[in-house]
Each structure stands twice: as C-alpha cells, then as structure tokens.
Amino acid sequence: MNEADMRRSLPIGVFDSGLGGLTVAREIMRNLPMEKIVYFGDTARVPYGNKSPKTVQRYSRQIVRFLKTQEIKAIVVACNTASALALDEIREEAGGLPVIGVVEPGARAACEETKRGRIGVIATRATIASHVYSNAIHAIRPELSVIGKACPLFVPLVEEGWTHDKITDEIILRYLDEVLEYDIDALILGCTHYPLLRSEIRRLIGDEIRLVNPAYETANELKRLLRSEALENDSPRMPGEPYPYRFFVSDDAERFAGFANSVLPVDVKSARIVPIEEY
Ligand code: DGL
C-alpha cells in the first residue's frame, strides 16, 4: 500500500461529551459505509452543556490529543456544545487534520429548509448562550429570524430512556411553547441527543414545521470533505470482516455499549476506558 492509500484507509475520529454523538456516528455509518470510525464519548464528564467555554475547550483539547494517538485522518466534533464553544481550539490542537463541527452544517440545512424565514433552535444552555447557530444562519442569510431555546432536561430524559413517556411529552411542550409562538417553520435539533426525541417532537408539534437534524448534513459535509482532500476510503469491508468501528469512553463502558446498541445499526460489544485527564 502506498502512502496515499494508507492515509485513505485511516479511521475518522468522532467525539462527543457522551452518548449523543452516536446519532452523528450513525449517519456517518449509513452515509459513508466504507469509512472506519474511532468514537470517543466523554461519559465521565458529561454534560458539557452547562459548563463554561474554558472547561469545554480544555476537555476538547484532551480528546483531540487522545484521538491523534489512534492515527486518524479527520475529526468530526459530534457535539453541538463543543462545536459551539471550542471549534477553534480543536482545530488548533488537530494540527492540520481536517475538522468538521455540527453547527455549520446544521445552520446551512435550516437555511435551505425554511420557506418563511423563521427558524427555531433548541440546544443546551451553553450552545444557546453562545448564539453560534444564529450567527452561522445570519452569515448565510442575514434576513432570517432565529429564536433559540435551551432545553436542558432533554439530555437526562434521553439518557434515562424516557423517550416514550407522558412526562417527556409535557416537558417537550413546555419548552417548545415559546418557540412555537414565534411561528417558526423549521426547528434545528441543536443537541446530539435531541434526534432521539424526534418522533415525539414531531407528534407533538405536527407536520408543518421542518425538523433539522444537523447530523445528516454533517455526514454529507464529511463526504464532500473527504472527496475534496482525496481521503475517501475505497476498500470495502470483506464479507465476515468485523465492522471497523472502535469505541472509547472515559467511564461506564458497559452502559455506553448498551446505549450504543440501541442507537447504532451495528452490534457494539464493548468500549474501552481511556484516562482522558492524562492527555
Ligand atoms: N452532546 C451535547 C450537545 O450536543 C449534549 C450533552 C451535553 O450537554 O454534554 O450539545
């Protein structure tokens, strides 16, 4: 194998504060089935959504340093909060490796989906406070109106497995009330856990509002990037060969594997624990 082929065959590093980024990994698996993935979930330090930018930047730098030990060819920041607060630091730490966050692809998809120019964004407190989505949307289409709403209870509800629950329905309606009054026609699910509440949100808000999952567009963007940098892996998995996905976490590997099995289209047998504070 020559050097270019070797590089093409390297995995993509994907990371999140914990489990939610698996919704992004799932889209990459579906859309780029030949690509290998090294996933890191910071299960010991989740949630990032109520931490300061400085802390999220420090955590993200450590994760990038760890991912680089795994010989990757690109990094996908599968966490809206880290994409919002730490993308520059991640790029700096990545030292020339291509990096994609979820916010810009999500903002671009919303700009394409909206017809009446009124977009809602739901996300963690930190992402909403950073205004990163409205800035990204206004950089593309300054005339659009954007309303943001932090929904901090959605993450624990998803992690608890309470997606089909009366209580969750009530909480969804309570958070979305204000956003719906704004008469939006597109809603960005601006936190990686929220796509797991997609059918509940859809049922409760009706069919008129387009739901934008930044994970889809992130996988498309990754495809374009790999193509433009001549980094696409073109050697298919052989029949019987295991899926080329490796999972690392900072804590509670068993729970992670159980959750991953409910989200991903492949069987996740285990995840390895990494002492991330040492990186
Ligand atoms: N993964 C985070 C995000 O997409 C949500 C969970 C957290 O707060 O860490 O913003």
User: Given 147, 191, 201, 219, which residue is catalytic?
Assistant: 191
Question: Could you tell me the two tokens for 38?
Answer: 């090294």
Task: Give the Å distance between the CA of 46 and the centre of ligand 1.
Answer: 8
Model confidence, pTM = 0.95
- Concerning whether 111 is annotated as a catalytic residue, the answer is no
* CA–CA dist 195, 70 (Å, integer): 28
Q: What is the Cα–Cα distance from 250 to 253, expressed in whole angstroms?
A: 8
Q: Look at ligand 1, atom 6, and give the residue with the nearest C-alpha.
A: 47
Question: From the CA of 208, how far away is ligand 1's center (Å)?
Answer: 27
Measured CA to CA, the distance from residue 47 to residue 124 in angstroms comes to 9
Question: Which atom of ligand 1 is closest in space to residue 127's alpha carbon?
Answer: 10
DSSP letter at 236? Answer: P
8 Å CB contact between 215 and 102: yes
Domains 3-101+217-278 and 103-214 are alike in CATH topology: yes
Going by CA atoms, what residue is nearest to atom 1 of ligand 1? 79
Residue ranges of the domains in the chain?
3-101+217-278, 103-214
Average pLDDT rounded to a whole number, residues 67-93 = 98
The pLDDT tens digits for 22-40 are 999 999 999 999 999 999 9
CATH topology of domain 103-214: Rossmann fold (3.40.50)
pLDDT in tens, 116-169: 999 999 999 999 999 999 999 999 999 999 999 999 999 999 988 999 999 999
Alpha-carbon distances, residue 245 vs 25, 34, 225, 235, 271 (angstroms):
10, 11, 20, 15, 10
Tens of pLDDT, residues 199-224: 999 999 999 999 999 999 999 999 99
CATH 3.30.2130.10 at 3-101+217-278, yes or no: no
Closest CA to 246 of 88, 119, 66, 51: 66
Cα angle vertex 214, ends 209, 215, to 5°? 125
pLDDT at 5: 87
Taking 80 as the threshold, does the pLDDT of residue 236 lie above it? no
Give the pocket of ligand 1 (CB within 6 Å): 16-17, 20, 46-49, 79-81, 124, 127, 155, 191-193
pLDDT at position 53 over 80: yes
Of 75, 79, 107, 187, which one is the catalytic site residue? 79
3-state secondary structure of 193: coil
